[in-house]
């Protein structure tokens, strides 16, 4: 009985211990479960974030590396020609970078595979964790249920223990009682049944305890498996972190290499941007000969500044002035009255070595092409140096993008590297740049003009000046200096430039070469003024700006073209002489027809017409008037022999429009000689006019006109041709002239008061220039002023003249001035005086007349 009681006590103790164990196990499982959840969540979040960041950083680094490599490869391709020595090294570096990029891409692929596998493992782990968590939750619920049952069982066990204690007492008592009962033979069946039931309950609790122990062991086994997996994940994480750290180091090294390469490429790019491969001189403009390309292949390559050496009689210069000593024609000087009206102040100019053509760019403009066309021109310095490295006194300014179009089509496209550079000569350095061009060389060439009838090429004069400069002056090259990371560099053009200071021809240089043939320009001008004062007006319409020479190729009496010079001629006049029979009479006349009135009987008389051709005249018994035309008087004093007494009368009644079409001769008045051939042809034609061979001119016009009246018209046309030829003689080509630009075009102003030029607008542009576009004898200073104004009745109106002197009028201007605005009033005729002084101090004054319609 005692053994059974002891087993019961042990069973109760085991039940209590198991209950306590299950309670402790339940707390431990909850803690482990929570800790695992937190660690796995943190690990998953950290790994996901780190892997995502690492993948993004690697992808960005690879993309940046690719972009930089592509950009650097493009730059390297551009730098191949200029930096061949660096190409191999750069390409090797690029290849190394590409290899590293490939390695990084491989590593990235491996990393992405590992990340993918880890992501899968983590997902599996999370799935298993969720299953375990679900199982743990179910187990926890079971444990809680078991705890409840255990608590109830413990309570029951406690109660059973209490009951057992009580029962033990009772048993003792019962044993005593049993003993007593045995002694008294009592029935124990009910009691034995209760004990058996209690034992069955205890055995049942022992089975439950065994099942709980099995479940707890399974939980421990599962926890060990999870702990091992966690340890494996931690090891994998450490390995992955080590790989990430290694890749980060590689990325850092790659970034450093790329930065180093980028720095070196920046240096190479800077060198390439600054590097000048060549300098090409395309041409030069200067005030002496402008810019030109002659048909002979001669191209302007001279930079030249004009300087003055006053060689006029007074060896001093005041301009404008009333002093006659400096005038080419003293009779054309300003009068005291004109000076008082204009109120100009006489300005003195230096007698020697003074540059009076502007300031910057006074030696002209140089046209260059800089290669390559996209070179950075910032900081480029230009200079002219000879083959000994000596610098010219002419200083070159900065490069300026040029919009100019030269003769052979050097034009600026989108970016063709075409520039212009101003060339400047400081007055202090004139002597360093001076050359002596022998004027005698020009005079020797121009001496052919004295031999009337010989064709002369005017380009000989220009060529002499040009060749003299080429033979004497140093040959200069353009030195372009630029700076890059390696230091200072120089690039040179061909040695094909001259930079000089030139004293040009003057208005008086060719005075001894002036050829004057009958009737002479002064005589014609005087005669025309007298004639047209009496018989009408001469209207000179617009001439194109380039039509300075007035070359005449054809003559027409009808259908006058728009660019013609028109002479409206209308007059009748008779000079009558009574001629006795068999008398020879000499008739000197000042370019007029002579009418001879002689009484004669009726008969047929043989005589000659105005050109000496035989004609027969039926003469009745009356007085006949015979006209001797002025054309037969041009060779001197004519003689007329009369075979009988008669009167010959030929009435002259001429009212014709004689049209002389003009033709382009000179090109740009700024100095270009685009049409040299036309100019030379004009000079030759002018020389032929000087021959005095009237038959040559007669052959060029309509020789089909045989009637006397038409022959007289032809003669008047011949006078016109002679006038135009004299106005365009070689001496006059050095002299100033004035054009006017209106809405109708350009016209050469008339210098004849009685025949002013007509303009249809109250405003116009005056163009002070010369017959050669100021190529050989340029103006140093110009002065244009309105000196008088006349109404329709010929009355001088001083207030109108004063009102017109606005803007640049009545102002001393630089010799390069090409246009002056003029504003007049309708119905008035203006006298405009153009005064120009050359670089030798000679002054030329000419008055022009403009009528505003």
Total domains in the fold of the chain: 4
Residue 609 has a pLDDT of: 41
CATH number of the structural domain spanning residue 62 = 1.20.1270
Q: Are 736 and 846 in contact (CB under 8 A)?
A: yes
Mean pLDDT across 36-45: 62
Of the three residues 602, 625, 652, the one that is the final residue of a domain is 652
The beta strands (E) that lie in 45-100 are given as none
Q: Are 690 and 517 in contact (CB under 8 A)?
A: yes
Asked if residue 740 and residue 760 are part of one domain, the reply reads yes
Residue 669 has a pLDDT of: 29
Asked if residue 96 and residue 161 are part of one domain, the reply reads yes
Q: How confident is the model at residue 670 (pLDDT cuts 50, 70, 90)?
A: very low
323 vs 182, residue with greater confidence: 323
Asked if residue 495 and residue 408 are part of one domain, the reply reads yes
Task: Report the percentage of the chain scoring pLDDT > 90.
Answer: 8
pLDDT-wise least confident of 224-233, 413-422, 549-558, 567-576: 549-558
Asked if residue 254 and residue 185 are part of one domain, the reply reads yes
Instruction: Give the full edge-to-edge strand order of the sheet including 745-748.
Output: 745-748, 736-742, 763-770, 820-823
Q: What is the DSSP letter of 490?
A: E
Residue 517 has a pLDDT of: 35
Mean pLDDT across 359-364: 74
Residue 845 has a pLDDT of: 93
Of the three residues 219, 250, 274, the one that is the final residue of a domain is 274
Beta bridge partner(s), residue 349: 317
Rounded-to-integer distance, Cα 117 and Cα 101, Å: 24
Residue 592 has a pLDDT of: 52
543 pLDDT higher than 90: no
Residue 691 has a pLDDT of: 39
Highest mean pLDDT among 304-318, 451-465, 516-530, 799-813: 799-813
Q: What is the DSSP letter of 412?
A: -
pLDDT-wise least confident of 128-132, 507-511, 585-589: 585-589
Mean pLDDT across 196-222: 70
Q: How confident is the model at residue 566 (pLDDT cuts 50, 70, 90)?
A: very low
Rounded-to-integer distance, Cα 696 and Cα 250, Å: 99
Mean pLDDT across 52-58: 63
CB atoms within 10 A of CB 185: 6
643 vs 193, residue with greater confidence: 193
393 pLDDT higher than 80: yes
664 pLDDT higher than 50: no
Mean pLDDT across 788-793: 91
Asked if residue 405 and residue 436 are part of one domain, the reply reads yes
Alpha carbon distances (Å) from 687 to 440, 451, 681, 692, 813: 21, 9, 10, 10, 35
Nearest CA to 300 out of 214, 365, 374 is that of: 365
Asked if residue 343 and residue 270 are part of one domain, the reply reads no
DSSP secondary structure string, 426-470? -GGGHHHHB----HHHHHHHHGGGGSTT----THHHHHHHHHHHH
Alpha carbon distances (Å) from 231 to 18, 90, 130: 32, 48, 19
Classify 243 as helix, strand or coil.
helix
Q: How confident is the model at residue 418 (pLDDT cuts 50, 70, 90)?
A: confident
Mean pLDDT across 350-369: 67
Residue 721 has a pLDDT of: 52
Look-up of token digits 């011949």: 718
Highest mean pLDDT among 60-64, 218-222, 407-411, 731-735: 218-222
794 vs 67, residue with greater confidence: 794
Phi, psi of 778 (to 5 degrees): -80, 165
Residue 762 has a pLDDT of: 76
Task: Count how many Cα atoms sit within 13 Å of the Cα of residue 357 in the half-sphere of its side chain.
Answer: 28
Rounded-to-integer distance, Cα 275 and Cα 81, Å: 12
Helix, strand, coil shares of the chain as percentages rounded to 5? 45, 20, 35
Asked if residue 587 and residue 545 are part of one domain, the reply reads no
Residue 530 has a pLDDT of: 45
Residue 20 has a pLDDT of: 45
Residue 169 has a pLDDT of: 64
Asked if residue 717 and residue 624 are part of one domain, the reply reads no
Q: Are 406 and 419 in contact (CB under 8 A)?
A: no
What angle, rounded to 10 degrees, do the helices at 2-79 and 84-184 form?
A: 170
Residue 321 has a pLDDT of: 92
743 pLDDT higher than 70: no
Asked if residue 581 and residue 556 are part of one domain, the reply reads no
Residue 277 has a pLDDT of: 78
Beta bridge partner(s), residue 421: 366
What angle, rounded to 10 degrees, do the helices at 439-446 and 459-472 form?
A: 150
361 pLDDT higher than 90: no
Terminal-to-terminal C-alpha distance of the chain = 163
pLDDT digits (tens, 9 = 90+) for 751-783: 888 888 888 877 888 889 887 677 667 888 899
Of the three residues 502, 532, 559, the one that is the final residue of a domain is 502
Residue 114 has a pLDDT of: 59
Rounded-to-integer distance, Cα 357 and Cα 363, Å: 9
Using a cut of 0.85, tell me whether the model's pTM lies above it.
Answer: no
Residue 433 has a pLDDT of: 66
Rounded-to-integer distance, Cα 648 and Cα 659, Å: 32
DSSP secondary structure string, 103-121? HHHHHHHHHHHHHHHHHHH
788 pLDDT higher than 90: yes
Residue 436 has a pLDDT of: 53
162 vs 366, residue with greater confidence: 366
pLDDT-wise least confident of 564-578, 724-738, 743-757: 564-578
Phi, psi of 835 (to 5 degrees): -115, 130
User: What does pLDDT average to over the chain?
Assistant: 63
Classify 472 as helix, strand or coil.
helix
Mean pLDDT across 59-85: 62
pLDDT digits (tens, 9 = 90+) for 21-34: 444 444 544 565 56
Asked if residue 369 and residue 429 are part of one domain, the reply reads yes
481 pLDDT higher than 60: yes
Burial 296-324 (b: 16+ CB within 10 A, else e): eebbbbbbbbbbbebebeeeebbbbbbbe
Mean pLDDT across 83-101: 61
What range does the domain containing 314 cover? 279-502
Residue 700 has a pLDDT of: 42
pLDDT-wise least confident of 365-379, 407-421, 636-650, 730-744: 636-650
Residue 222 has a pLDDT of: 72
Q: How many degrees, rounded to 5, is the angle at CA 551 between CA 550 and CA 556?
A: 95
pLDDT-wise least confident of 282-296, 313-327, 423-437, 832-846: 282-296
478 vs 228, residue with greater confidence: 478
Pairing between strand 576-577 and 594-600? parallel
294 pLDDT higher than 50: no
Q: How confident is the model at residue 625 (pLDDT cuts 50, 70, 90)?
A: low
Beta bridge partner(s), residue 852: 759
Asked if residue 233 and residue 115 are part of one domain, the reply reads yes
Residue 697 has a pLDDT of: 39
Asked if residue 786 and residue 662 are part of one domain, the reply reads yes
Token pair in block for residue 100: 């590293």
Residue 784 has a pLDDT of: 96
109 pLDDT higher than 50: yes
């Amino acid at each position: 009985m005692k053994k059974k009681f002891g087993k019961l006590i042990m069973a109760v103790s085991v039940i209590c211990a198991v209950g306590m164990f299950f309670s402790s196990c339940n707390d431990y499982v909850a803690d482990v479960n929570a800790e695992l959840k937190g660690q796995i969540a943190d690990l998953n979040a950290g790994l996901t974030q780190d892997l995502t960041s690492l993948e993004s950083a690697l992808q960005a680094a690879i993309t940046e590396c690719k972009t930089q490599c592509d950009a650097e490869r493009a730059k390297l391709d551009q730098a191949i020609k200029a930096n061949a020595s660096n190409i191999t090294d750069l390409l090797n570096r690029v290849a190394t970078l590409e290899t590293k990029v490939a390695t990084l891409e491989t590593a990235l692929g491996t990393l992405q595979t590992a990340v993918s596998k880890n992501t899968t493992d983590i997902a599996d782990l999370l799935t298993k964790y969720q299953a375990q968590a679900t199982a743990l939750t179910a187990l926890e619920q079971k444990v809680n249920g078991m705890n409840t049952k255990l608590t109830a069982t413990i309570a029951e066990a406690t109660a059973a223990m209490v009951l057992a204690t009580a029962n033990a007492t009772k048993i003792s008592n019962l044993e005593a009682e049993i003993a007593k009962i045995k002694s008294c033979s009592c029935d124990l069946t009910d009691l034995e049944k209760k004990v058996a039931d209690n034992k069955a309950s205890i055995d049942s609790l022992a089975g439950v305890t065994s099942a709980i122990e099995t479940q707890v062991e399974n939980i421990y086994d599962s926890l060990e498996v999870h702990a091992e997996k966690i340890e494996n994940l931690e090891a994998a994480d450490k390995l992955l972190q080590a790989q990430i750290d290694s890749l980060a180091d590689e990325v850092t090294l790659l970034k450093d290499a790329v930065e180093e390469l980028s720095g070196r490429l920046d240096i190479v790019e800077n060198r390439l941007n600054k590097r000048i491969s060549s300098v090409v001189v395309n041409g030069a403009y200067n005030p002496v000969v402008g810019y030109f390309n002659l048909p002979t292949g001669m191209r302007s390559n001279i930079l030249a500044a004009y300087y003055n050496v006053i060689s006029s009689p007074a060896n001093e210069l005041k301009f404008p002035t009333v002093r006659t000593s400096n005038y080419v024609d003293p009779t054309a000087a300003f009068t005291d009255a004109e000076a008082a009206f204009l109120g100009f102040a006489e300005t003195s100019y230096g007698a020697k070595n003074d540059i009076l053509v502007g300031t910057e760019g006074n030696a002209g403009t140089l046209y260059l092409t800089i290669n390559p066309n996209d070179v950075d021109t910032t900081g480029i310095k230009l200079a002219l140096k000879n083959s000994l490295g000596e610098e010219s006194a002419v200083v070159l300014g900065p490069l300026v993008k040029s919009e100019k179009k030269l003769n052979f089509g050097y034009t600026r496209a989108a970016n063709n590297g075409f520039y212009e550079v101003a060339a400047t000569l400081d007055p202090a350095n004139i002597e360093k740049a001076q050359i002596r061009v022998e004027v005698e060389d020009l005079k020797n060439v121009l001496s052919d003009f004295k031999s009337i009838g010989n064709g002369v090429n005017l380009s000989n004069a220009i060529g002499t000046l040009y060749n003299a400069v080429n033979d004497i002056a140093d040959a200069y090259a353009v030195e372009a200096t630029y700076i890059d990371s390696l230091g200072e560099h120089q690039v040179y053009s061909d040695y094909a430039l001259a930079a000089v200071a030139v004293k040009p021809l003057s208005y008086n240089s060719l005075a001894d070469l002036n050829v004057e043939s009958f009737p002479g320009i002064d005589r014609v001008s005087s005669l025309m003024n007298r004639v047209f004062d009496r018989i009408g007006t001469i209207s000179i319409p617009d001439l194109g700006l380039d039509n300075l020479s007035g070359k005449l190729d054809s003559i027409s009496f009808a259908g006058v073209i728009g660019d013609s010079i028109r002479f409206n001629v209308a007059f009748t006049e008779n000079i009558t002489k009574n001629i006795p029979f068999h008398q020879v009479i000499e008739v000197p006349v000042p370019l007029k027809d002579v009418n001879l009135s002689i009484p004669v009987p009726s008969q047929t008389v043989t005589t000659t017409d105005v050109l000496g051709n035989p004609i027969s005249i039926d003469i009745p018994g009356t007085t006949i008037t015979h006209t001797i035309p002025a054309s037969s008087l041009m060779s001197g004093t004519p003689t007329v022999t009369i075979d009988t007494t008669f009167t010959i009368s030929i009435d002259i009644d001429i009212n014709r429009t004689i049209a002389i079409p003009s033709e382009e001769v000179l090109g740009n008045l700024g100095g270009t000689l685009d049409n040299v051939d036309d100019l030379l042809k004009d000079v030759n034609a002018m020389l032929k006019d000087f021959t005095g061979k009237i038959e040559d001119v007669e052959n060029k016009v309509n020789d089909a006109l045989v009637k006397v009246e038409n022959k007289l018209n032809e003669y008047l046309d011949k006078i016109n041709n002679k006038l135009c030829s004299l106005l365009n003689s070689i001496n006059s080509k050095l002299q100033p002239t004035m054009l006017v630009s209106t809405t109708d075009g350009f016209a050469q102003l008339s210098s004849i008061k009685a025949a002013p030029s007509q303009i249809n607008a109250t405003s116009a542009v005056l163009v002070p220039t010369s017959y050669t576009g100021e190529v050989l004898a340029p103006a140093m200073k110009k002065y244009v002023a309105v000196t008088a104004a006349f109404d329709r009745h010929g009355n001088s109106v001083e207030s109108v003249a004063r009102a017109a002197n606005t803007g640049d009028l009545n102002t001393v201007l630089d010799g390069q001035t090409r246009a002056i605005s003029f504003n007049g009033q309708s119905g008035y005729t203006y006298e405009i005086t153009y005064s120009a002084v050359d670089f030798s101090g000679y002054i030329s004054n000419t008055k022009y007349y403009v009528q505003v319609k």
